Structure 1
Amino acid sequence: MRHFSRACARHLALGLRIGIPRPRPYELPRNSTFKQITTSLSRYSSEAPLHHQLYEIPPSRLESKIHPLGWEAIQAQTEPWFDQHWEFASEKEKEGFFALGMSRAFSQFFPLTLDDRVEMTCKLHYLILLIDDQLEKMDLLEMLSYRNRLIQIVRGQSKPDRKKCFEWMLFDTFQLMQSTDDVLARGLVEGFCALLQAQTTEERMSVKHLGPYLEHREVDVGRPFYSALIRFGADLHLSSPELSQTAALESCAFRFMGVLNDIYSWDRESKVYQGNPTDGARPFSAIYILSQETGLSYTACKRLMYAYCRELEIVLKQSIEDLKQENGGTLRPEMDKYTKGLEYLMSGIEQWSQWTPRYRQ
């Protein structure tokens, strides 16, 4: 977005390690067909090393998991629909979108998703990224109009225009989810609306200090939406008291997600800002804010915020143990599965961020 830099899903990438040579830029042939694109991506994903890093990444304490279907099967269920129906601005834009490896991301982010819910859940995951792409091309008034229109559609207050792919594809996906599990789908609707509102609010431009930023970022990065997506995908019905008990875990997980996002997206975001510093917006990033408050370099701030992420992992693990003790030493299976889903989301975001070619270009 020109006025509000970066939304949740698109800026989860860039990871480098010492001693690993930089790979050649990933390129697809001109006029590639969908089959050529996915074949090239499959070959690339199995061979691609991690990026070269300017500093050692502290080891993670999180457990990770891959969806048992495998990302290739998930890709085959999902991407042809977008290849056929989404109106990309150009072949280059289409190729760039499919090269991001969003099916691989889904496999790592949401490994607990039930097989019969994978397709609809993954489609919504893709739509979030594509909608964010649309928002980035708009000025403020266009953005607000677009946001309000989408909120009316997903809440059932307006019918979609079947000539506009982003309207009917979003509407149909939510309709299918509601027919599958109306209770959990309603939570997804509200999470989606909260995400759009957080990404387009003018209040974010007034955030200047790290504490308030981290609070806002939990929502901006998608806490209500992605927590609901985990529960819908895995068919996890938690009571209101259970959701209250897991609120601290969610806060920890989505602060981690937001800060990690800031670390890996910073180099790209910084270049955009430096190229057009009079656009009316400061970078909405923990790296930028911490640098302004401390006078440290951006690289130093990335190191500090990575250490913060590792501390959040400790907090998450300890909070889960405390939660078990509060519940007699064990959690109800659905609640226990949800806490694991939050951990898998955190670890999956980091692993995919270190892989995706988006920030290699």
Structure 2
Amino acid sequence: MEFRYSEEIDTSLYETHGLCDGIPLRVHKDSFSEILGSLRAQRDWDRHVSPLYGGYNGNLGERFSFVRVTVPECLPERLETISYANEFAFLYDDEMETLDLKNVDQGVAGAEMLEAFQGTGDMDCNPRDLSSLRPEKRLQAQIFAEMIAIDPVRAKTSMKAWARFVQLASQTRLKPFDTLQEYIPARVIDSGELIWFGTLTFGMALTIPEEECHICMELARPGYAVLGLTNDLYSWEKERDAAERQGQDYVFNAVWVIMKERSVGEEEAKLICGEIIRDYVEEYRLIVENTKRNQRLSKDVRAYIEAVMFSISGNLVWSIYCPRYRHEGLEDSD
């Protein structure tokens, strides 16, 4: 991959807890556009959906912000838009956490996520009449309109991937998982494998040939396992507390699954989760190296597989330092 918009950060300037050895951290050179997009999303949500009170945190961090480190080679003119979209996702996620999810029909919730656009199956993704939609769905339609204005073809590809994600993810949290073997494939879906496919391909202007889509997703899957498990590890306390408030007797999180499957406490489960992350990281590093040498794959497939690798280091470092997941107890986990 050619690096045009990012710079590599010296390893002495950040902590990784030993969870992504061999993967450098790259940061987009534009520090302004992510701030602009994130704050615009917060302002729109506060104005049109529900008030934002103190304590909310999304993309932005004191040292590292999410999109700049997870999509370091985003085209500069697309950085604000994908930052807005990702901030919207954080806002929506927090809104869902305030609900009693035991009483939410997940199928209905998934269908509602698709209301902001129509006809995804035939690629006719023009926003429909928005007057009947709830405010957050109108903001979602606004995101799609901005993307279409920038790059109609890749925007529609992203929308199709996001629609498919909603259909699949609406089923992943219906019941607890007893083993990691069962949980990890569901976590890959739930962590946003398809959402991130749409984000990377749009943000970096990548086109994955249809005949290579399957192998592209297969090659990237261990990387998405890393992303999902890393999120589980660093958001554990936040998700555990949210589940307790909602009266749930389980948490959709690898730490919870490990505790139950192996009969261990929280701290040991987090250490085990870290070891599993390390194993997947090493597996994915080898996949990236092999893919870079495989000239039978298209240039954009090879770029996508490498981009997921930089998302791994970016997501990890952001998770360690971000206000969204800040808590005590992980500093000595390496």
8 A contact 2:41–2:88 mirrored in 1: no
Aligned length: 304
Inter-partner Cα distance in structure 1 for 2:52 and 2:292 = 51
Q: Tell me how far 1:160 sits from its aligned partner.
A: 1.9
Residue 213 of structure 2 is aligned to residue 250 of structure 1: no
Structure 2 CA distance, aligned partners of 1:235 and 1:73? 17
Distance 1:313 1:85, change over 3 A: closer
* Residue 217 (structure 1) aligned to one of 187, 206, 221: 187
SS state of the match for residue 66, structure 1?
strand
Match of 2:278 in 1: 310
Q: 2:200 aligns with which of 218, 230, 233?
A: 230
2:172–2:190 CA contact under 8 A, matched in 1 = no
Aligned to 1:10: none
C-alpha displacement at 1:98, in angstroms? 6.1
**What does residue 61 of structure 1 align with?**
22
Deviations 1:92-120 (Å, cap 9, x if unpaired)? 24x62468539811111111111111122
Contact 1:252 1:316 in 2 (8 A): yes
In the TM superposition, what whole-angstrom CA distance separates every residue of 1:295-337 from its partner, at most 9, and x where no partner exists? 2222112112211111112111211233345436xx5432332
Is the CA contact 2:158–2:201 (under 8 Å) kept in the aligned structure 1? no
1:27 — aligned with what? none
CA distance in 2, matches of 1:59, 1:183: 34
Question: What residue is the counterpart of 1:130 in the other structure?
Answer: 91
Structure 1: any 5+ residue segments left out of the alignment? 1-48
Query: What is the aligned-residue identity percentage?
Result: 17
Q: Does 1:269 align with 2:235?
A: no
Match of residue 36 from structure 1: none
Deviation at 1:354, TM superposition (A): 0.7
Cα distance, 1:181 vs structure 2: 2.4
| Residue 301 of structure 2 corresponds to residue 340 of structure 1 | no
C-alpha RMSD of the superposition: 3.0
CA distance in 2 between partners of 1:340 and 1:170 (Å):
29
1:191 aligns with 2:154: no
Shift of 1:254: 1.0
* TM-score between both structures, scaled by the size of structure 2: 0.79
The alpha-carbon deviation at position 225 of structure 1 amounts to 0.8
Cα gap change, 1:313/1:130 in structure 2, threshold over 3 Å: closer, same or farther? same
Aligned counterparts of 2:217 and 2:105: Cα–Cα separation in 1: 34
CA distance in 1, matches of 2:176, 2:230: 22
User: For residues 21-74 of structure 1, what are the alpha-carbon distances to aligned partners after superposition, in whole Å with 9 as ceiling and x for unaligned?
Assistant: xxxxxxxxxxxxxxxxxxxxxxxxxxxx989x9xx645622122111212x442
* 2:113 counterpart (150, 162, 175): 150
Return the match for 1:201 from 148, 160, 171: 171
Amino acid at match of 1:154: F
> Using a 3 Å threshold, how does the CA distance of structure 1 residues 108 and 324 change in structure 2: closer, same or farther?
closer
> Which of 1 and 2 has higher RCO (CA within 8 Å, sep 6+)?
1
